[in-house]
Amino acid sequence: MCGIVGYIGNEDAREIIIKGLKRLEYRGYDSAGIALLKGEDSTFHIYKDKGRVSRLQEITDFSYKSCLGIGHTRWATHGVPNQVNSHPHQSEKSRFFIVHNGVIDNYKELKSEELNGNNFTSDTDTEVIAHIIEKYSNEMKVDEAIRKTMSLLEGSYALAIIDTQNQNKLYACKNKSPLLLGLSDKGIIIASDVMALVGYSTKYVPLKDKTFVEITGINYKTLDIIGKEVEHEVKVIDIDYFNVEKGEYSHFMLKEISEQPSVIRTIISKYFDGEEVILNGDVSKAIKDSDRLYIIAAGTSMNAGYIGKELFEKMALIPTEVHIASEIAYNMPILSKKPLFIFISQSGETADLRAVLVNVRANGYRSLTITNVKTSTLAREADLFVEIHAGPEIAVASTKAYTAQICILAILAYGLSDKHINLRKEFSKLAISIENIIDKREYIETLVKDNLTKRNCFYIGRGIDYYACLESSLKLKEISYIQTEGFAAGELKHGTIALIEKDTPVIAIISQRKINKNTRSNLNEVKSRGARTLVISTWGVHEHGDQIVLDDVYELLSPILTIIPTQFIAYYAALQRNYDIDKPRNLAKSVTVE
Ligand code: F6R
Label residue 346 by pLDDT band (50, 70, 90).
very high
Closest C-alpha residue for ligand 1 atom 16: 345
Q: Are residues 390 and 278 in the same domain?
A: yes
CA 444 to chain centre: 27
Q: Give residue 243 CA to ligand 1 midpoint distance, Å.
A: 20
* CA geometry: angle 25, 122, 104, nearest 5 deg: 70
pLDDT given for residue 592 in this prediction:
77
| 201-210, 294-303, 539-548: the lowest-pLDDT one | 201-210
CA-to-CA distance for 68 and 505, rounded, in angstroms? 54
Q: Decide if 137 contacts 148 (C-beta within 8 A).
A: no
534: region left, alpha or beta (phi > 0 left; psi from -120 to 50 alpha): beta
- What is the residue-wise DSSP string for 242-286? GGGS-TT-SSHHHHHHHTHHHHHHHHHHHHEETTEE---HHHHHH
Say whether both 250 and 194 belong to one domain. no
For residues 432 and 447, state if they share a domain: no
Looking at every residue in the chain, the average pLDDT score rounds to 94
The domain boundary residue, chosen from 436, 466, 490: 436
Whether the CB of 473 sits within 6 Å of ligand 1: no
| CA–CA gap between residue 34 and residue 14 (Å, rounded) | 8
Residue whose CA is closest, atom 9 of ligand 1?
Answer: 299
pLDDT of residue 570: 98
Mean pLDDT of 405-419: 94
Burial class of residue 382 in the structure, from the number of CB atoms within 10 Å of its CB (0-12 exposed, 13-18 middle, 19+ buried): buried
pTM, rounded to two decimals: 0.82
CATH code, 33: 3.60.20.10
3-state class (DSSP) for residue 345: strand
Beta strand 548-550 pairing with 532-538: parallel
99 and 77 housed in the same domain = yes
CB 318 within 8 A of CB 345: no
Q: Tell whether the model's pLDDT for residue 191 goes beyond 70.
A: yes
- From ligand 1's centre to the CA of 398, what distance in Å? 7
For residue 9, what is the enclosing H or E element? strand 3-9
For residue range 351-397, list pLDDT tens digits in order: 999 999 999 999 999 999 999 998 889 999 999 999 999 999 999 99
Containing 56, the helix (H) or strand (E) segment is helix 53-59
How far apart, in whole angstroms, are the C-alpha atoms of residue 150 and residue 154? 8
**Residue 5 near residue 191 (C-beta atoms within 8 A):** yes
Residues above pLDDT 90, as percent of the chain: 86
Strand partners, 323: 296
Distances 294 to 257, 283, 371, 387, 465 between C-alpha atoms, Å: 29, 15, 16, 19, 21
Question: Do 79 and 200 fall within a single domain?
Answer: yes
Pick the atom of ligand 1 nearest to 401's CA: 14
Interval between CA 587 and ligand 1 midpoint (Å): 10
1 CB near ligand 1 (under 6 Å): no
CA angle 55, 59, 62 (to 5 degrees): 120
What is the whole-number distance in angstroms between the Cα of residue 298 and the centre of ligand 1?
Answer: 6
- Ligand 1 lined by 398 (C-beta under 6 Å): yes
For residues 20-43, give the mean pLDDT.
90
Task: With respect to residue 594, please indicate whether it lies within any of the assigned structural domains.
Answer: no
Of 416, 436, 456, the domain-final residue: 436
Structural domain contains residue 591: no
Distances in Å between the Cα of 140 and the Cα atoms of 148, 150, 179, 400 are 9, 14, 26, 51
**At 340, which CATH number?**
3.40.50.10490
Structure confidence by residue, pLDDT tens digits, 204-227: 999 999 999 999 989 999 999 999
* Ligand 1 pocket check for 298: Cβ under 6 Å: yes
The per-residue pLDDT for range 522-531, each reduced to its tens digit, is 999 999 999 9
* 528 and 510 co-located in one domain: yes
Count the helix, strand and coil residues of the chain and give each as a percent rounded to the nearest 5: 40, 25, 35
The two most distant CA atoms of the chain are separated, in Å, by 80
Q: Three-state SS for 298?
A: coil
Q: Residue 467 C-alpha to ligand 1 middle, in angstroms?
A: 16
Question: Domain end: 406, 421, 436, which one?
Answer: 436
For atom 3 of ligand 1, the residue with the nearest CA is: 299
Tell whether ligand 1 has an atom less than 6 A from the beta carbon of residue 397. yes
How confident is the model at residue 240, as a pLDDT? 64
Residues 269-284 have a mean pLDDT of: 92
In 3D space, the residue among 463, 451, 569, 457 whose CA is nearest the CA of residue 516 turns out to be 463
What pLDDT, on the 0 to 100 scale, is given for residue 407? 98
Per-residue pLDDT at 243: 67
Checking DSSP bridges between strand 366-371 and strand 339-345, what pairing results, if any?
Answer: parallel
Q: Do 509 and 571 fall within a single domain? A: yes
For residues 547-559, average pLDDT: 97
- Contact between 404 and 391 under an 8 Å Cβ cutoff? The reply is no
Measured CA to CA, the distance from residue 582 to residue 225 in angstroms comes to 39
The answer on 80 and 40 residing in a single domain is: yes
* CA angle (164 as vertex; 160, 168 as ends), nearest 5: 75
Contact 87, 74 (CB under 8 A): yes
* Residue 548 reports pLDDT greater than 90: yes
Residue 373 lies in a domain: yes
Indicate if 410 and 265 belong to the same structural domain. Answer: yes
Beta bridge partners of 70: 6, 35
- Same structural domain, 55 and 113: yes
Is residue 242 predicted with pLDDT exceeding 60?
no
Residue 346: CB within 6 Å of ligand 1? yes
- Compute CA 318 distance to the chain's CA centroid, rounded to the nearest angstrom: 28
pLDDT of residue 91: 97
Report the distance separating Cα 547 and Cα 566, nearest Å.
12
Domain count, the chain: 3
Mutational test site, ligand 1, from 347, 477, 581, max ligand atoms within 8 Å of CB: 347
pLDDT value at 593 more than 80: no
Q: Look at residue 40 in the predicted model and tell me its pLDDT.
A: 80
Whether the CB of 304 sits within 6 Å of ligand 1: no
141 burial via Cβ count (<10 Å: 0-12, 13-18, 19+): exposed
Task: For ligand 1, say whether the CB of 546 is within 6 Å of any of its atoms.
Answer: no
Q: Is 302 in the pocket of ligand 1 (CB under 6 A)?
A: no
Please give the average per-residue pLDDT across 314-330, as a whole number.
96
* Any domain includes 475: yes
User: What would the pLDDT profile of 448-470 be if each residue is shown by its tens digit?
Assistant: 999 999 999 999 999 999 999 99
Establish if 493 belongs to a structural domain: yes
Question: How far, in Å, from the CA of 519 to the mean position of ligand 1?
Answer: 28
Mention every residue, 6+ apart, whose C-beta is less than 8 A from residue 393: 252, 256, 346, 372, 399, 400, 401, 589
Residues 569 and 444 in one domain: yes
User: Does the beta carbon of 512 lie inside 6 Å of ligand 1?
Assistant: no
Closest ligand 1 atom to residue 347 Cα is 15
Domain of residue 307, residue span: 246-436
**From the CA of 525, how far away is ligand 1's center (Å)?**
33
Q: Answer whether 470 contacts ligand 1 (Cβ < 6 A).
A: no
**Dist. CA 401 → ligand 1 center (Å):** 9
The more confidently predicted of residues 65 and 247 is 65
**Confidence check: pLDDT of 241 > 60:** no
Residues linked to residue 321 through DSSP beta bridges, in sequence order: 294
User: Whole-angstrom distance between the N-terminal and C-terminal Cα of the chain?
Assistant: 11
Whose alpha carbon is nearest atom 7 of ligand 1? 397
In a domain? residue 407: yes
Helices and strands in the chain, H and E counts: 18, 26
Pocket lining: 301 vs ligand 1, CB cutoff 6 Å: yes
The verdict on 200 and 303 lying in the same domain is no
Active site residues: 2, 589
CA-CA distances (angstroms) from residue 569 to 211, 239, 376, 444, 449? 45, 30, 31, 7, 10
Please check whether residue 296 lies inside any domain of the structure. yes
Is 345 close to ligand 1, i.e. is its CB under 6 Å away? yes
Q: What is the pLDDT of residues 476-515, one digit of tens each?
A: 999 999 999 999 999 999 999 999 999 999 999 999 999 9
**Separation between Cα atoms, residue 266 and residue 259, nearest integer Å:** 11
- In 435-499, the DSSP E strands lie at 456-461, 483-488
**Residue 151 pLDDT greater than 90, yes or no:** yes
Of 193, 296, 301, the residue with max ligand 1 atoms within 8 A of its CB, to mutate for a pocket test, comes to: 301
CA of 469 to the centre of ligand 1 (A): 16
Q: Which residues contact 521 (CB under 8 A, 6 or more apart)?
A: none
Instruction: Ligand 1 pocket test: pick from 193, 346, 408 the residue with the most ligand atoms within 8 Å of its Cβ.
Output: 346
Q: Going by C-beta distance under 8 Å and a sequence separation of 6 or more, which residues neighbour residue 362? A: none
- Residue 13 placed within a domain: yes
